[in-house]
Structure 1
Amino acid sequence: MEKRNKVASNQRHEMTGLERLGLRVSSMINHPIAQMQRWVTIHRLDTDGEAEWEEVMGLLAETPELDLTFNDDESVTVRWEPQSADDRDDLIVDKDCEAEKLEEEAPF
């Protein structure tokens, strides 16, 4: 039994290239300085695969609140406008509604 526990504890989930890139981009966008200035430039690293880069950039491009500029050096500058008070209120109301639904659906 002890041997099985050692094998299970030695197995870890390796992040895929897409997960790594998504986490890096998300961290960059959510960084306090980027949030303050409302823009960030994302550089493609040598470890970022072509398919992964295209998929993440495609997802960003599909997000209506974001404005992407594809630079000559293959970096991408992401810009966004500050949310209006109404938009923030809508998000808060939506989160409250979701919390209520979760409470209603809780099996305990």
Structure 2
Amino acid sequence: MSKHAASAAELPGAYERLGIRIQKIINSPTAQKSRAALIFRLPDEQEDDWNQLLEEIAENDNVTLAYRDDGGVQIFWTVPKED
């Protein structure tokens, strides 16, 4: 494998970049404290990628998505108590 091909393979794709961006928002101290995050799709992000990510987030237990009129999605979650 050439040096160019190796570096190209390491770059995250559009979906991965979207996931990283949303993960940073969700993991921010403010979001973690309130157990909520407000996210928006950026103009350069594909709608299919956005919808796939929202579906994957919604599959998690204790997570609720609220779709807003302004296009944003509010994510709420609860942390289950340990036994």
Same fold (TM over 0.5): yes
Stretches of structure 1 lacking an aligned partner (at least 5 in a row): 1-6, 87-108
Highest RCO, 1 vs 2 (Cα 8 Å, sep ≥ 6): 2
Q: How many residues align?
A: 81
1:70 to 46, 58, 67: 67
Larger Rg: 1
Aligned to 1:94: none
RMSD: 1.9
| TM norm structure 2 | 0.84
Secondary structure (helix, strand or coil) at the match of 1:40 reads strand
Cα distance in 1 for partners of 2:59, 2:82 equals 23
1:48 to 45, 48, 56: 45
Stretches of structure 2 lacking an aligned partner (at least 5 in a row): none
1:28 to 15, 25, 28: 25
Q: Which has the higher helix share?
A: 1
Structure 1 residue runs of 4 or more that deviate by more than 4 Å after TM superposition: none
